[in-house]
Amino acid sequence: MNAGDQKDGAFEYLTTRKDELVGWARKFSLFPYPFVTACCAMEFMSVSSTMYDTDRFGAALPRFSPRQSDLLMVVGTITHKQAPVLRRVYEQMCEPKWVMAFGVCATSGGFYQNYAALQGIDKIIPVDVYIPGCPPRPESVIDGIMQLQEKIAGSSHPIVSDRF
Amino acid sequence: MTVRNTSDNLPNPVRPAFDTPSTEDGVIVNIGPSHPATHGTLQIIAELNGERVVRADVHCGYLHRGFEKECEAHTWHTLIPFVDRLNYCSALINNFAYCDAVETLMDVEITPRTRYLRTLLSEYSRIADHMTCIAASVMELGAMTAFLYLMTIRDWIYEHLADLTGARVTYSYGRIGGLAHDLPEGWLERLEEILDEYEEYIGRIHGLMDRNRIFIDRTRDVGVISTEQAVHWGFTGPILRSTGAARDLRRDTPYLAYSELDFEVPVGINGDNYDRYYVRMREMDESVHMIRQLMHMLPKGPINVDDRRCTFPEKHRVYTEIESLINHFKLVIDGPQVPAGEVYRAHEAANGELGFYLVSDGTGTPHRVHVRAPSFVHMGGLHKLLEGYQLADVVSTFGTMNMIGGECDR
Amino acid sequence: MSADLLERLRARLVDEGREAAFAHGLLAVQIPREALLDTAKLLKEGFGFDLFLDVTAVDWPDRDPRFDVVYHFYSTRDHVRVRLKTAVTGTDPVVDTLVPLFGAAAYMERECHEMLGIGFRGNDDLRPILLYEGFEGHPLRKDYPKEREQPLVRYRE
Ligand code: SF4
């Protein structure tokens, strides 16, 4: 984005690409859906409250309805019993949507290698960012959010379709 | 071509106990498992008549991660991290209860310092656990300020425990026959600071909640259970105490150093949600009182027992002596050799009686590990607390039950 | 006084021809499975063991009878515990349900049923509780491989 011709501290005009503008807007207005199941939830609570405060990154207001959110945070172990629920929530979210695997259980099943645990949520839904740790420290979660924001800013955002 | 799953052909993992309403104007609603108030792991299928819950069918198991099967594939030592993740709000209590059970089976007596330290850390974890429970349950009723206050102080506790153990939530700090290591320098001084801060913050919570009209309306006389019914449904811990029964394992069957401590067992009167909230608040005060006593009682001395069956030899000896090297190798590869037999040991965890039933066949791997998890038992009687109340009361009742997925579903 | 109670209980059970011994702080009793309901009733009504703690089973694949079904009870008045143990065979792993005596048994019997395949005569609500509909086998039996998964959702290609 380039700001042009600054007079008296105000922008006269702004040149940018549509993708960059939309990406910039989208990356700071993430509405997370916390799909919270297990121990990682303890850290999720910390991340979203006073000490670490993800609000600073524009990703604070959790929406508990998949229709209103665009970031699916899968926090904790997903078991085979839970898998259909997760899949359904994912399908109910509107595009554009991103998925974050929070903790090693969501990433790969973690140290639960048995009949009950799903060996990574990417077996059933696509994932954009993986955060390692059991549970991850809040700092690494914030790092993950920032990486996701970079990814959002850098990808193309086809909002104008043929119909317009 | 492979067929993709869509919402329409996703299977339903549970079978409800009823699928038609019992009366003409009844409705059946499904709450959870992915619902902000059910901790993501519980499903309640309720039949409503108007706003009133007539029948409720509670399904858990969405977090069943095969803990007990996993134990049978690990040595007695290496399953300690799994034990952490049962009740992840107070992982240390789980650690110590498990270690205590194994030690009973091996007939190992822990050193005095470890005994006091374990007591202290159990109480410290209990504070963190009760805080999480109260924070979550009042937030679900809309009390965001109280939530943020409690989270702030809980974060200090977490960071403080991370100084000691290296992890914020899942500590793996207990060892069979002792602890991972001793307290770092300055830890007790910081503990004192945190306890002082705790008092100030908890005063604010009392001010915000205790006489709050909305809070009282939503919790008083909601989810009431009598002592007799509570015992019938196997309730223990703060839920049983809220009904007026002063039953606490710390006093009834003292373990660790509890018999030497001076503390009260707070009880409620009505067994409703408000009492459960208040019992937890009072229990935290008692825990602080106990920690203060323990800080002065803490003796000096070793933390691990001198027993080659379970304690790892010191590192420098592993590098210089062949016996220690072999001992270390054996403990890591085969695990501690626990004599054949079975044992049931219970500790008063934050939620109630946490029992470990262990069966050993004389090798380094457990034959069977079974956990008597308080949350699971509480979920078995949850419907009794929901039926007859409003649908909106499900949230407040469930919040004060403090169901912890990892422990409930294992 | 509590030791007294356990001693009385032990004497009473031994009189009836049961094996009962103290082990690691509780009284462990071995009973035939026909006697389960009566013994549980005796514990509850005669000796005040009002809190049902736990039921589970242990699988001994090389032994006949193959399973041990294990119960724990606690007395909230006297603060003592009792363990009841009964052996059942692999071909007919059924015991009587204790739900009429203790409400808490309902959930735990469901768990024991799905995890180890123990049947509970008289309990007609043995739907899966920790596992899901359509799960085949009993994962806590020793012959169930730990890593055999039964996914409900088709994996992505
Ligand atoms: S990654 Fe670790 S902390 Fe997170 S849900 Fe899994 S086991 Fe629990």
Instruction: Compute the mean pLDDT over every residue in chain C, rounded to the nearest whole number.
Output: 83
Please report the pLDDT score of residue B42 as a whole number: 85
- Chain B residues in contact with C51 by the CB 8 A cut-off are 231, 234, 236
Residue A74 lies in a domain: yes
Residue A15 lies in a domain: no
Please report the pLDDT score of residue A164 as a whole number: 42
B338-372 tens-digit pLDDT: 888 888 988 888 888 888 998 988 888 888 899 98
Chains touching B by CB (3 or more pairs below 8 Å):
A, C
C-beta A106 within 6 A of ligand 1:
no
So what's the ipTM on this one?
A: 0.89
Q: How many domains does chain B have?
A: 1
B223-235 tens-digit pLDDT: 888 888 888 888 8
Rg (CA), chain C: 18
Burial group, residue B307, by CB count within 10 angstroms (0-12, 13-18, 19+)? middle
A94-143 tens-digit pLDDT: 878 889 888 888 888 888 888 888 888 888 888 989 998 888 888 888 88
Instruction: Compute the mean pLDDT over every residue in chain B, rounded to the nearest whole number.
Output: 86
Q: CA-CA-CA-CA torsion for B400, B125, B35, A148, nearest 10 degrees?
A: 160
A146 touches B: beta carbon within 8 Å: no
**Residue A39 CA, closest ligand 1 atom number:** 8
The owner of tokens 């066949």 is B361
Residue A73 lies in a domain: yes
> Could you tell me the two tokens for C7?
């001693």
The residue whose CA has the least distance to atom 3 of ligand 1 is: A135
Q: Delineate the domains of chain C, giving CATH numbers in brackets.
A: 2-104 (3.30.460.80)
The range of the structural domain enclosing residue B203 comes to 67-409
- Chain B residues in contact with A88 by the CB 8 A cut-off are 7, 10
One pLDDT digit (tens) per residue for chain B, 410 residues: 344 445 557 777 877 777 777 788 888 888 878 887 777 788 888 888 888 888 888 888 888 888 888 888 888 888 888 888 888 888 889 989 999 888 888 888 888 888 898 999 999 999 989 988 888 888 888 888 888 888 888 888 888 888 888 888 888 888 888 888 888 888 888 888 888 888 888 888 888 888 888 888 888 888 888 888 888 888 888 888 888 888 888 888 888 888 888 888 888 888 888 888 889 999 988 899 989 888 888 888 888 888 888 888 888 888 888 888 888 888 888 888 888 888 898 888 888 888 899 898 888 888 889 998 888 888 888 888 888 888 888 888 888 888 888 888 88
Which residues are C56's β-sheet partners? C70
Residue A114: closest C-alpha in chain B: B66
CATH number, position B267 = 1.10.645.10
Residue B48 lies in a domain: no
Residue A71 lies in a domain: yes
b/e string for B283-300 if b means 16 or more Cβ within 10 A?
bbbbbbbbbebbeeebee
Please report the pLDDT score of residue A133 as a whole number: 86
Question: How near does any CA of chain A get to the CA of C124, in Å?
Answer: 23
Q: Which of B235, B238, B234, B268 is nearest to B250 (CA)?
A: B238
Is pLDDT above 80 for C13? no
b/e string for A97-111 if b means 16 or more Cβ within 10 A?
bbbbbbbbbbbbbbb
Share of chain A above pLDDT 70, in %: 87
- Chain B residues in contact with A62 by the CB 8 A cut-off are 36
Residue A19 lies in a domain: no
Residue A135 Cα to ligand 1 midpoint, Å, equals 5
Residue B256 Cα to ligand 1 midpoint, Å, equals 29
Residue A74 Cα to ligand 1 midpoint, Å, equals 11
String of DSSP letters for B334-357:
T---PPSEEEEEEEEETTEEEEEE
The range of the structural domain enclosing residue A149 comes to 31-154
Residue B307 lies in a domain: yes
Residue B190 lies in a domain: yes
Report d(CA B397, CA B273) in Å as an integer. Answer: 6
Residue B36 lies in a domain: no
Residue B173 lies in a domain: yes
Report d(CA A45, CA A48) in Å as an integer. Answer: 5
CATH number, position A86 = 3.40.50.12280
**Cis before A135? omega within 30:** yes
Q: Do A113 and C131 touch (CB under 8 A)?
A: no
Residue C133: closest C-alpha in chain A: A81
Q: How many domains does chain A have?
A: 1
Which residues are C87's β-sheet partners? C68
Residue B368: closest C-alpha in chain C: C58
Report d(CA B32, CA B48) in Å as an integer. Answer: 16
The residue whose CA has the least distance to atom 6 of ligand 1 is: A105
**Share of chain C residues as helix, strand and coil, in percent rounded to the nearest 5:** 25, 25, 50
Mutational pocket test of ligand 1: of B85, B171, B407, the residue with most ligand atoms within 8 Å of the beta carbon: B85
Residue B184 lies in a domain: yes
Amino acid letter, residue A66: P
Nearest CB to B355; choose among C50, C54, C140 = C54
Q: Which of C45, C43, C47, C54 is nearest to C78 (CA)?
A: C47
